[in-house]
Amino acid sequence: MHGRQGQIVVPFLKWAGGKRWLTTQQPDLFPRSFDRYIEPFLGSGAVYFHLKPSIAILSDANAELISTYVAMQQDWRKVRNALLRHSRNHSEEYYYEERSRKRRSPYERAAQLIYLNRTCWNGLYRVNRQGQFNVPKGTKTSVLLESDDFGTVSKLLKRAELRPSDFEATLKQAGPGDFLFVDPPYVTRHNLNGFVKYNDKIFSWSDQERLRLALGAAADRGAMILVTNAEHHSVRTLYSGFGKEIILSRSSVLAADSENRGSVTELAIAVNYEVRCRP
Ligand SMILES: C[S@@+](CC[C@H](N)C(=O)[O-])C[C@H]1O[C@@H](n2cnc3c(N)ncnc32)[C@H](O)[C@@H]1O
């Protein structure tokens, strides 16, 4: 079951490929009821915070990201206090100082990730080969936002089991009655979207094939699935016959030249449940 009715919970991170737009554009794309919610590519958790499920397994290969959620789950006040300090001190010099600092406490590390996410260039998460965050300072200066409701976020996260892990281990958990929302990095360069490198490792085409196999096994066990990807012939071929294809279109601000700015299409495939989406 889930409780998508009621209060809107905005993700507290900005994430490349974040699906907040999908939750506002197609709020009914998801199954009406399910047992557990399972999301193996969590990112900013836009769909999780939209659906507010009662039981969830959430994971991502980015261990720092998962530690941030765990800190929010366990003691959001400590994270907020550290963010208040960053907010008071924020400046160009402070940003670079904080970026290079090794924080030990899990709450300080969480606040550091959130602070850098909110003030870095374009809310991007990028690390170098040594795993150090290396995005330059951006133009945004707000460290605390009006939309912040860390108390509610923490309460929601208490219903979830959070794991730093590759998607395959998480997908193995899915069984009949579970709902899997699967939003991997899009490998193929398509339309004007390009692809995104999240960590020092690129998600490769063989990862896409590994994902397809793992999803096939989860579908055979009776899990409901919504998987998103690039709207590209290679992806269509990979998922051919798997479920109901839905073309999603959203406005893009990413294209470099204004002439090409506009609508970008993505592909969603729904398996083992009836989709009710808006035209
Ligand atoms: C498109 S983003 C997910 C965005 C998310 N749906 C949101 O609304 O913000 C893809 C995520 O996959 C994660 N990732 C990359 N490779 C992975 C892997 N092999 N296993 C699990 N997660 C991975 C990245 O760290 C990134 O957070």
Residue that terminates a domain, selected from 139, 159, 179? 159
**In-domain check, residue 278:** no
**Least confidently predicted of 50-54, 66-70, 231-235:** 231-235
Q: What CATH number does the domain containing 170 carry? A: 3.40.50.150
- For a mutational test of ligand 1's pocket, the pick from 9, 42, 162, 226, i.e. the residue with the most ligand atoms closer than 8 A to its C-beta, is 42
pLDDT at 22 over 50: yes
Ligand 1 centroid from CA 86, angstroms = 27
Query: Of 114, 134, 159, which residue is a domain's last?
Result: 159
One-letter amino acid at 179 equals F
Last residue of a domain, which of 134, 159, 184? 159
In this structure, which residue's CA is closest to atom 24 in ligand 1? 198
- Containing 236, the helix (H) or strand (E) segment is helix 233-238
- My answer on whether 67 and 57 are in the same domain is no
Number of residues assigned to the chain:
279
Contact 139, 95 (CB under 8 A): no
| Cross-strand partners of 162 | 58
Amino acid at site 209: E
Nearest CA to ligand 1 atom 7: 18
Alpha helix (H) ranges present in 90-204? 92-100, 106-119, 150-157, 167-171
Helix (H, G, I), strand (E, B) or coil at 53: strand
Range of the domain at 134: 63-159
187 and 240 fall within a common domain: yes
CA distance 36 to 14: 25
pTM over 0.75: yes
Nearest of 20, 40, 25, 28 to residue 2 by alpha carbon: 28
* CA 120–ligand 1 middle distance (angstroms): 19
CATH number for the domain spanning 141: value is: 1.10.1020.10
Pocket lined around ligand 1, Cβ cut-off 6 Å: 15, 17-19, 40-41, 43-44, 46, 60-62, 166-167, 183-185, 198-199, 203, 207
Rounded to whole angstroms, what are the CA distances from 272 to 30, 53, 237?
Answer: 11, 19, 19
Using the mean position of ligand 1's atoms as its centre, give its distance from the Cα of residue 80 in Å. 25
What is the separation, in whole angstroms, between the first and last Cα of the chain? 26
The encoded tokens of residue 215 equal 């999803």
- Distance (Å, whole) CA 159 – CA 152: 12
- With residue 69 as reference, give the H or E element that holds it: helix 63-89
pLDDT on residue 124: 85
As for how many domains the chain has, the answer is 2
Span from the CA of 177 to the centroid of ligand 1 (angstroms): 23
Ligand 1 centroid – CA 185 distance (Å)? 6
Q: Per residue in 209-252, pLDDT tens?
A: 999 999 999 999 999 999 999 998 889 999 999 999 999 988 76
Instruction: Examine the domain organization and report whether 179 and 198 are in the same domain.
Output: yes
Considering the domain architecture, whether residues 117 and 52 belong to the same structural domain is answered as no
Indicate the helix (H) or strand (E) that contains 30.
none
Q: Do 127 and 190 have their domain in common?
A: no
Same domain? 193 vs 134? no
Nearest CA to ligand 1 atom 3: 43
